Amino acid sequence: MEIIFNIVHYIIPFIILLGILVFVHEFGHFIVARISGVEVSAFSIGFGKVIWSRTDKKGTVWKISAIPLGGYCQFLGDEEASSSTSDISKLTDEQKKRAFAFQSPYKKLAIVLAGPGFNYLFAVLIYTCLFACLGKITFPPIVGEVLENSAAYDAGIEKGDRILSINGVKIEEFADIAREVSMAADYKTKIEVKRGEDVLNFDILLTEIETDDANGTKEKRHMLGVKSISEIETSDEKTPLHKAFVYAVEEVYDVTATTLRGVAQMIKGDRGSDDIGGIIRIAEMTGDISKSHSILNFIVFMALLSVNLGLINLFPIPVLDGGHVVFYTIEIVTGRELNEKVKDYLFRAGFALLLALMVFATYNDIVHLFNRWFNS
């Protein structure tokens, strides 16, 4: 019975989520390729054995494959799904006009950028619809976790407490907590908390902890020692469509900036690599959201992952879209194609790096699950 429960709440929602995001990404490549006159041989969601397929009027084979951990858009002349190598020797002169390998670097660049671009557009569309229909989304000031040996821990604040006010200032969302805590004089602060039906008051002496500011530089700040929950609330004030779009763009920008800042901190060694997660972590988070029966949380999580998928694919690693972007940009600037052997070596190095990152992320995921199962 537990196996069926896990399939329903973890595996199926994960496959649906990943399938939607992969489709959006690959459809970006597909539609811009079609507009550019490039023939698309195959469009696949998943890898491996084909479960379902059909061929459209223009010869594109649409497929759903057995391993739902990605997908690809294969162009005429490509030897394999990544489009990193081509077999153009058998193409006729007419086919060469529709083959990706014979397009200008400008067209190639547009096609490659369209995948991550569609992920970003999809996220903006989701946020715009949410803000326009439900109002701004916020993370409520509810304690999701209390850090050990922190000021909150020592004072007796518990998971599930809703922080109502700090030093007499009303707290409406979780981000307000950090603002008011940072303004507390002499590290002393009065916090009003709702626990169940009871309202409790705490006099807390804050602790000073070294952390990173918005620019990634070290600074000492007053810290309460609490983390937020994943639940989302809405303001119930519908936003005009044009403002909803602006808010959506700002939200996507903030997610991108936060992710890049975290990556930079890991590279500099200012932040641990434990936060690097992979497919297992995504499946776990998707399942947790599914068990909460919150469609809103699922949709917001999908928007967040769409931004991250688009951003990661823009990293300048050969095999990823970002690696192709670098190659085609060099070709545009120099006016000549890169040597095929050089590209082949770079693709192999990029694949090895990507494989190493996947192994490391999977290791982190397994350790995370082990700690969750046996230390909870």
CA separation for the pair 323, 156 (Å, rounded): 50
Render pLDDT for 173-209 as a digit per residue (tens, 0 to 9): 787 787 777 666 556 788 899 998 889 998 888 776 6
- From the candidates 2, 26, 79, 251, give the one annotated as an active-site residue: 26
Give the per-residue pLDDT at 328: 93
Query: Which residue ranges form the domains of the chain, and what is each CATH number?
Result: 103-139+238-376 (no CATH), 143-228 (2.30.42.10)
Are 240 and 226 within 8 A, CB to CB? no
Give yes or no: 26 in active site.
Answer: yes
Q: Span 283-305, mean pLDDT?
A: 82
Whether the predicted pLDDT of 257 surpasses 90: no
Q: Span 93-105, mean pLDDT?
A: 88
Q: Residue 79: which pLDDT band, with cuts at 50, 70 and 90?
A: low
CA separation for the pair 73, 26 (Å, rounded): 6
Whether the predicted pLDDT of 75 surpasses 60: yes
Q: Residue 83: which pLDDT band, with cuts at 50, 70 and 90?
A: low
Give the per-residue pLDDT at 365: 79
Whether the predicted pLDDT of 215 surpasses 50: no
| Mean pLDDT, the chain, integer | 83
Nearest Cα to 310, choosing from 21, 20, 13? 21
Q: pTM of the full predicted structure? A: 0.78
CA distances from 162 to 130, 175, 314 (A): 24, 13, 39
Give the per-residue pLDDT at 216: 47
